[in-house]
Structure formats: C-alpha cells, structure tokens
Chains A and B, each alone.
Chain A
C-alpha cells in the first residue's frame, strides 16, 4: 500500500502538522482581519465624511452648486484611502435640495432628495455615511453630505489573505512532498536495500559499502547486519563442524542410532543402521517402523518409543530385531529429545548389538558349570603364579577354602 510507505507517512505527518499549525494561525489571523477591516473601513469613511462636510460648508452656505461639484469631484478623484473608495457623493442644503450629486441624471441640482439620519449604514459592500454640514461660524445645520464608500477592498484584502494562506498551505505541501522524497531517498530506499540485504545474512554476502553515505542510523543498522552476518557465519561454521563431528561419531558408532519424531517417523539414522537394515538414510526419513519392519516387531518397537514419550525420561531395555544375519539382540538406550523451549519433539535410540556377548556369556556359564561340578582340582594362576581361581573340588580335596588361597 502506498500509504504504508515510510516516506508517504512522514510527508503526511508533516503536512498534517503544518496544516494544523499554519491553518490554526491563518484562521486566527483571517478571523481577526474579518472583524477588523470593516471597523477600520467604517471609521475611515466616517472620518473622511466629517472632514469633507467641514471643507464644503462655505459652498453649502452660499449654495454654490458648481464650485461644490468641482470640489466634490476633485475630492472623489483624489480620495486616497487604503480601505475605502469614495464612489458616490451628494451634498444637500438645509431643505434637502440637491446642491450637487455625482449622479446628476437621477439626482438633479435643486431637486428634493430623501435624507437618512446621520450615521453610517452598510449596504452590501457599500458604506453610506450621512453627516450634517454645520454653519462655519454659528454651528447650525445648513446642509447634509451623503457619501457612499466602496468597501469591497475588504473582500479583496480577505481574498488576498486567503490566497496567502493557500500559498502557505501549498508551500507546506511542497515541503511535505520534498520531505517525503527526501525520506524516500535517504531512509526508505536504504531501508529497502537493508531489507533485501537481510535475506543474505548468514551467507557472508552482506556488503555495506553502498551505505557509506546514508544517515548514521541506517549506517549503524547496516554495520550491525554485517556483524550479525559474520557472527552467524562463525556460528554456522561451528555448527557445521559440530554437526560433522556428531555425524562422524554417530556414523562411526558400532551402535545403531536413530531419531524418530513423536509420531514415530524417522528423522535420522546412522550408517550402522543403514548397513544392518540395508536401507539408506534418505529412504527411511519420514517413514515409521511399520514401513520398515513387520507389524508385530514394529508394534513392539513403537510401544517402547511411546513409553519413553510417556515417561519423558530415558529408558534402557533390550530389544530383539531380526536382520539378514538372523535375530539380533540389542541393548537399547532410548531417551526423549527436547527443543530449546523444553518441548519434547523426538525420541532418540542408541542400540548396541549384544547378540555375541549374550552368546559368549552363555558359553562361559556352561564352562563355569563344568569347572564347578568337576571332581578334579582346577586352579587358575596368573603369569606370576598368583592363584586367581580355585574350583569347589579344590576346597573339598585340599581342605582350603577359596578365600584362603586366592591371591
């Protein structure tokens, strides 16, 4: 997923943060300006109207319509205010007859015109200000000035502000994009290379030269991966050596060694097993005793394995298994194998062929019986003449007990 990329997420986080900060500040400023600008515009309009009303009082007093028009026209043309534009003017005498109006066609000179009360009134983007004209000396009302100001510059100002906010946001997006690209090039791409490199840990192929100019953290990670690679190689070498040693020991052991999983499937057999039962290691792996031996023998062997599994401890027992030489007797040590989590996963068996020893033992037992039951004295000495054995006939005939003459 595109969104899951580190560079995208970093860019988005920056964008979100910038949006919150810039957006918050901008909203605050915009809100302030939205309230301030109309107040300033109205203040300017009212103040301008007051000054204009004072400046035209002489012309109003003497009803000089033309000089009044020239003066108002000049004022309108030269009117200079940051917040409002003088759009329309009307000057009336005390009887509310028009002395001059910027729209003379609709408001001709010396025609009556309705006059609102003194003050400022908003009408859309326009501010209409009505101001009485006072007599220059006695202060009585001699006329009225009605000025209409265009305050649409407020909208222009706010639009400009919105534009500036938009530019800020666009800039933030650009910076976010640059950060995302930077993250992509400087972090994500090296991380992806590291990720690919990780697959080779243990192969001895972790090459970190290309990370020389990456950020320190990435470089450190690459170095760690290289160290891990080398450590694993060293461990592997040791394991391989240990395995080879173990395999050598197992394969060269005169005992039959095998490992079966808990379901009785062969995992490993040694060379002795292969020789005796004429089966190769790769052919027996995954098979059970039932696949190798007849059913009754397989059942007996499996039973012993199950006992070991059930006990969870080593067992020594004797088992007899036929092979091409005939029935062979084994002295079997069976014990469970545990993984690193102490969980049993297999049963290992080491079976020593004792068929010959058993036969020798029987033979010796027979000979011992012959010697013990013989009527002739039989004494056995070592090379130094030291008596090592005397039979019962010796005791009987010589009168010495065995304890007395041995040694």
Chain B
C-alpha cells in the first residue's frame, strides 16, 4: 500500500516528462531541403536559403538548406533522411518515387504552366542544325539523371534510332546546366541540352551571352522540376507544405521570392503528371 501511494504520482510524472521530451525533440529536429542543379548559382544563392526558411515557417516544418553535387546525391540524402525535402528533377523523382516512395509535394509554374522544355544549344557560328547533326562531337550535360540535360536528348535521339552513347565522341558530364553553357562557350563541348528555365535565368544574368549561344531545338514540354518529400514526411506536413507553396504568391515575401526565382507559383499535381518522363525512361532503357 505504501508503494501504491507513490505509484500514480510517479507514473504521471514519467508520462508528462515523456510527452515533453517528444515535443521538445520534434521542436528541435530539423530536416534538409536538398537542391541539386535546378536553379542557377547553387552554392552561393541566398535565395535558396531564404526559400527554405520561408517554407519552414509557413509549413511549420524546420528546414535547413543542403546542396548535393548530383541528383544521385540528392536521392541518397532523401533515402537516408526520409523526412527530408528536395527540389529535384522529374526523371530522378520518377525513379525515386518508384524505388524509395518519394512523395510529390508541388510543381513550380514556369510561364504559367508546370512544364518546361529542354533546349539543344551550341555556340553561335556552328553549321549544325539539330542534335543529330553533332555526330562524333562532344556533348555536354549537367547530370546523367537530369531530364532536360540527358534524358530528353537521349530520348529524342532514340526516337531517331540513335544511341546517345554511340552518337557522340565524348559525353561531357559538367555537373550543372550553367557549366554545360560554360563548356560550350569555351569550346570544350560542341553541343549541350539545357533546362529552359536555367537558360532563361542565365540570359537574364548574362544578356551579352545571347549573341554567343544558339538554341537549335526545343524538346518537350516536360513536367517541371518538382518539390518532393521523403517517404516518412507525414501526410499532414505534406498538406501544409502544399498549402504553403500553392498560396506562395499570395504571401508578400513568397511573391517576392517567386519573382526572384522567375516562377509564377506552385501547383499540386498527382504523381501521374510525370508519366511522360516515366515513358521516356522506359523507352531509353529498353
């Protein structure tokens, strides 16, 4: 009886302490918002940090900015940290959704639509007119898993019965779309496929380069690069994130950031929206 006198108060204290600990842990736990090659100036872009902070606040989901060298690195982070978020590319998302149950949160609106194209680009003064004309030349791409950088041109050539691995003398992996542009301008590469959104932003930042680079072909449109979440991000959080992003243009700071990104807002779409990319992947890997 002596023990029972103390049992309930002690039990209550343990329970209260436990709940406090869980809340404190949740409050302290932050998650990565991972970027890799979807926008210009990856490492030094304060806008991405600002965006992470804004989204964390709006969705009440603590976030820190993280950068990876490749989409593979991004996929690895989300696989290991399944509560992390990422701004990834359509093709890695399709693969990672299938493999790691990545969740689709929202898709940016570019020129009013959640789509973009892949530009076949070369230096001004070249005589070639299409990607296929560059047989035996050097092809630059940002990432082997990039939709606009590698999948789209692979698919386009495949449609013409051309294997991208055989068609070019050398496939130059640059790491970023702007590096592919740099390789073109320096003569290191002869042709490259670049994300339309990156090209837009690049020409805004470097207007004098418009005369030095030529867009030969516009492939697409393709579903835009999405904001995704790891498989363990709770559905309620996904919803808050979606609400925050979709209503971003209504928020003053959000609207300013959208303008700085060169985007019109976000939209929520089902995973099936990325079916065209899944189809391209299947076609290319066949």
Contact = CB atoms under 8 A, between A and B. Distances in A.
Interface of A: 64-67, 69-70, 73, 100, 104-105, 108-111
Contact of A109 (B169, B173, B174): B169
B140 interface: yes
B179 interface: yes
Contacts of B140: 66
B138 A100 contact: no
Interface residues of B, number: 15
Nearest to B186: A104
Interface string B182-224: 0100111110000000000000000000000000000000000
B200 to A, nearest CB: 23
Contact of B174 (A66, A100, A108): A66
A104 B190 CA distance: 10
A65 B187 contact: no
Contacts, number: 38
B138 A110 contact: yes
A99 to B, nearest CB: 9
A66 B187 contact: no
B173 A69 contact: no
Contacts of B190: 108
A77 to B, nearest CB: 13
A105 B183 CA distance: 12
Contacts of B187: 104-105, 108
A388 B35 CA distance: 174
Q: Which of B140, B170, B175, B179 has the most CB of A within 10 A?
A: B170
B173 A66 contact: yes
Given A108-B138, A109-B138, A69 B186 contact: yes
10 contacts: A66-B140, A66-B175, A67-B175, A69-B186, A70-B179, A104-B187, A109-B170, A109-B172, A110-B169, A110-B170
Contact of B189 (A67, A70, A105, A109): A109
Nearest to A104: B187
Given A109-B169, A110-B169, A110-B170, A100 B175 contact: no
A112 to B, nearest CB: 11
Contacts of A105: 187
Nearest to A110: B170
B175 A109 contact: no
Contacts of B169: 109-111
B64 to A, nearest CB: 27
A65 B186 contact: no
Given A108-B138, A109-B138, A69 B170 contact: no
A65 B175 contact: no
Contacts of A70: 179
Contacts of A67: 175
Contacts of A110: 138, 169-170
Contacts of A100: 188
A105 B140 CA distance: 16
A64 B140 CA distance: 12
Contacts of A66: 140, 172-175, 179, 183, 188-189
